[in-house]
Chain A
Amino acid sequence: MMTSSELQKEFDRIEALAKKEGAEVEMTVSQAESFSAGYQQRKLKKYSSDNAVSASFRVLYGKGTGVSTTEKMDAEALRQTFNEALQTAKDLSKSKTAQDLEPALFQGAKPSELKGLFHSDYSEIPVKDKLAWAEDLEKFALEFDPRVTNVPYSGYSNSASERFLFNSKGTRLNSRSSHLSAYSYALAKHGEDSKAGYTSFFSRSPAELNAKTIAHTAAQKSLDLLGAVQPDTGRWTVVLTNEVASELVGLALGHFSAKALDENTSLLKDKKGEKVFSDLFNWVDDPLQAHMPGARAFDAEGAATRKTPLVEKGVLSNYLTNYFYSRKMNLPHTASAVRGAAEMDISSSNVIVEKGQKTREELLKSDRKVILITEVQAIHSGYKDATGDFSLPSSGFLYENGAMVSPLHQFVFSGNLMSLLKNVSGLSNQWNTDGGSVLATDLLVPDISIAGKT
């Protein structure tokens, strides 16, 4: 790991090289330490400790941009990586025309006030305590009920990282963050019937970790699905749990990106100020919620982050932009730049769907027969972002007159995401607690296609 002043010195050398070439440069460095452990059949299945560092350069030359990354952190490797990015920028500048907007580094970088992102590097927690948590995640699930016969995957992990951002416009920023996470995937069996239950957890504070609750939640989910039957094929009123809703809301977020608008791949293009979703919806992108995983004090270009309303009473109020696309598309700059190993992109941070008034139980009474969908799978293959069409293998429960009748499995829930979000007719008053970067409520949606028993 390099210190801040060592990195500063390396950047100064690179910046001088860039200046000599008539280029501008931005250097991002990420240093992270993480630990994870998991048990299976009461034996240590996984114990890993990672020490990771990487540097990424973005070089602007004329109208060309080059990006290059490395995990080798000596001076020669950094210089080589910079040179690769410079050469790419020169190559790409040749194909630019007078109509192309010149890229620029962000000037005036500063972080927003954001406390609580870094708790500690967790080295104060003895490894034996961490192993005990990992062991408990399996043990408590197995002890919960004799029908829980196996916990093939469960684990505890903690991570602490620091990122540095330097650029030719005088930016010198750094930020530390840390978090713990845990998950449990339990299998319950009864005769030939086998069902899985999964839950996850995210926090910055060890005090909030409760292995028993996580293990019991996963175990209960697997048990609840035993004896499941297939629903009839047809059109149904459904309630999507807040966990499922958070996944579906997450799928829509890429369409708010100004880059997707420019590339003509967004389904929300030219919709600002128009009603796009149910008027029950109010969505906000909020990078300043320190307890959520998407929290950040500054974006990947160094711009101070802030809260941005996305949807107000169903009307699209803002797109998400970085510095380049805010200028190119003449949109407000929302400081939503992200960059991993790849080119500069745009992404939401934490998205919060405002709660409704009703309880889940009230939503489930809204029709004589309602399917509660508790899990969807295969989003990577069953959802098509270009059209919004989806066809997702699911499981859940059948309710009649508000009372649970039977668990359901082996059915496919399908439709179009944009239409579904328009047709939402009820929101519950509870958010998902699985530690994701989208907080959503349960959603009531009428007239949904379900493929099952014929």
Chain B
Amino acid sequence: MNAGTLEIRNLQVIYGGAIEAVRDVSLKVEPKQIVALLGANGAGKSTLLKALSGVLDDEEGTIESGAITFDGHDLAGLKPVDIVHRGIVQVPEGRRLFPSLTVDENLDMGGFAATPAQLTERRTVVFELFPRLAERRKQIAGYLSGGEQQMVAIGRALMGGPRVLALDEPSLGLAPIVIDLIYDIVRRLNRDLGVTVLLVEQNAQRALGLASYGYIIERGRIVLDGPSARLVGNADVREFYLGVTGADRKSLREVKHYKRRKRWLS
């Protein structure tokens, strides 16, 4: 196995001992790859990321079976702190900045474990990527615009020196032009800095445009995976995730047929 491969094998997550949120999910993120994980609300995307970062227990979730490995080491059961130290950093859904802290202080917190020299170096990188944050570094993060907050959230994660960056719906609630900017940054992070990216999205069109490989999760299970180009060409994906209806409109009966088939598959 390559160093820096993140692999999830047959993961099952159960909340409160009763509700199965993720079942038998396997996925693999190769070093320096961008992998998209797509799915609707409640499909289990965020649960998967929580399991990855070791923060399931807040909602009484447990990894019932399966494994999460990075570099060949098992991550399940590690404390969130140790997972961050191994280089897996998450940008949580809804950004989750520290609203009452300034931009600079938020960045400091991202690099909580870093040495002062590393902090200075990484801060320079962050400000190069997001010049706007350099202008606003003394401002209270809670008063920034949504796009700027997303920049702070990504910058904060970069301060931890990630090898794998897990982004949970970075486009959520942002204007299309801002999403373009954020996606462009993610592309640069991957290309110029060699950061591996696991991109969790509802916005399939955007995500598949950036990622080289994609997984589609529905009701806690991976229902489809493949290289982005192939997923984009898949008729079901086109219809249900990309919103492309062919020349002829389908009748409701065919939609029902698709849904029935999906249930059988899963």
**Does chain A bind chain B?**
no
